């Protein structure tokens, strides 16, 4: 078909998009299949929770079942616990074929939206803490449908959790109506001079998230606010003002706050002296992760083992999922495998996130963080 003049650029854009998606997936699909090795001797930290993969008692080996290697007898459930914990985090990646972004021909964020995605993951973790807590009880398995949950657990708590889990994911849907969806975030990015297709840095994303939470009209979101540190400084009185702004919370209760601190850990490259600091941060129960990555590749850092950071990678282009459908499939919102990368490769620019449920929590957290 040579009659391409009129829709020429659109067609070319569509082709470019298709090519980009295919290229990204070729590049990243092996990532999901490659195994990540964890050492048995060092603790693993994931968002303030510590896991030990050591054998509890070397002598008390379980009797070898036929065809079963010693490797399968992992310690007292900790590996499994870690796996479950990791898989139940919300994973947000590039998507394609979603409703067109206003003022652009784009229907995908493949190749440019990774920092917005890692920002979404950090916010999602904050919301999970806010609505579900950091308990063991978050999700039995992410892939169950609501019907199964209701069938399996007569326990109201599990059903409540499942409903909130779905609700949180739906707030990040790729459509103009989703409160924290890509379309909205791009809208707020315009104020910082960013448009769809641009590269977003971790500091800009912090301000976009703050705006998105401030503007969210959803009744469930009135009890939470975001504070972004200026020049690496958190002014306690400003945070507390935000938390006790009773005009907005209406019921006289403190608001929860997500504190975002854009930092630069070194000059051209990350200064390894900051390794202990980053580990300290990821060990705090208040931590909701770090929007960071390698140069020009954003990752969501959620933990560490030794000198490697554990992260979730948004660079995997998945198809649009319509989250407005009652029982939309959850599988693609959960990452099957944790990835590790050496701290030395980390880009120095990042944004660190903390969640505090109320003023008292904030005061405790500031003490911990100051230490």
| Catalytic residue ranges | 114, 313, 315
The Cα–Cα gap between 96 and 135 comes to 33
List the beta bridge partners of residue 259: 227, 354
Cβ within 8 Å of residue 352, ≥6 positions away? 260, 261, 263, 281, 287, 290
Query: Per-residue DSSP letters for 261-274?
Result: EEEE-BSSSB-GGG
Question: Around Cβ 102, how many Cβ atoms within 10 Å?
Answer: 12
- 153: helix, strand or coil: coil
The closest alpha carbon to 42, from 369, 306, 321, belongs to 306
The Cα–Cα gap between 340 and 37 comes to 8
The closest alpha carbon to 98, from 319, 361, 329, belongs to 319
The Cα–Cα gap between 214 and 49 comes to 29
The Cα–Cα gap between 201 and 223 comes to 27
Outline where 46-145 has alpha helix (H).
78-88, 114-132
The β-bridge relationship of strands 224-228 and 256-264 is: parallel
User: For the chain, how big is the Rg over CA atoms in Å?
Assistant: 21
CA distances from 76 to 55, 56, 182, 232 (A): 7, 7, 41, 41
Outline where the chain has alpha helix (H).
8-33, 78-88, 114-132, 146-152, 156-171, 182-189, 202-215, 236-243, 246-249, 275-282, 359-370
Task: Confirm if 305 and 335 have CB atoms less than 8 A apart.
Answer: no
- 276: helix, strand or coil: helix
């Amino acid at each position: 078909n040579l009659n391409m003049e009129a829709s020429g650029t659109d067609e070319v854009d569509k082709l470019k998009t298709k090519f980009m998606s295919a290229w990204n997936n070729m590049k990243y699909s092996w990532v999901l299949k490659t195994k990540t090795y964890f050492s048995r001797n060092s603790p693993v930290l994931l968002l303030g929770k510590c896991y030990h993969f050591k054998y509890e008692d070397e002598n008390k080996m379980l009797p070898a079942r036929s065809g079963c290697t010693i490797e399968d007898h992992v310690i007292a459930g900790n590996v499994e616990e870690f796996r479950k914990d990791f898989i139940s985090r919300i994973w947000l990646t590039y998507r394609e074929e979603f409703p067109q972004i206003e003022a652009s021909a784009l229907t995908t964020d493949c190749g440019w939206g990774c920092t917005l995605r890692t920002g979404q993951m950090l916010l999602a973790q904050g919301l999970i803490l806010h609505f579900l807590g950091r308990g063991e009880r978050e999700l039995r398995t992410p892939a169950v449908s609501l019907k199964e949950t209701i069938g399996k657990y007569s326990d109201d708590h599990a059903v409540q959790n499942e409903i909130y889990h779905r609700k949180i994911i739906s707030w990040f849907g790729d459509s103009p109506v989703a409160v924290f969806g890509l379309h909205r975030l791009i809208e707020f990015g315009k104020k910082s001079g960013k448009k769809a297709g641009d590269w977003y840095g971790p500091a800009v994303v912090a301000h976009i998230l703050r705006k998105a939470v401030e503007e969210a009209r959803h009744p469930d979101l009135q009890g939470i606010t975001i504070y972004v540190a200026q020049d690496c400084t958190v002014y306690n009185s400003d945070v507390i003002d935000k938390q006790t702004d009773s005009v907005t919370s209406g019921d006289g209760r403190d608001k929860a706050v997500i504190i975002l601190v854009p930092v630069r850990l070194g000059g051209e490259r990350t200064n390894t002296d900051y390794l202990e600091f980053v580990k300290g941060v990821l060990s705090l129960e208040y931590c909701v992760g770090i929007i960071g990555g390698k140069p020009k590749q954003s990752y969501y850092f959620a933990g560490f083992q030794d000198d490697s950071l554990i992260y979730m990678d948004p660079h995997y282009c998945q198809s649009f999922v319509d989250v407005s459908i009652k029982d939309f499939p959850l599988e693609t919102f959960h990452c099957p495998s944790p990835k590790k990368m050496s701290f030395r490769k980390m880009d120095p620019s990042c944004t660190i996130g903390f969640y505090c449920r109320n003023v008292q929590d904030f005061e405790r957290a500031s003490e911990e963080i100051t230490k």
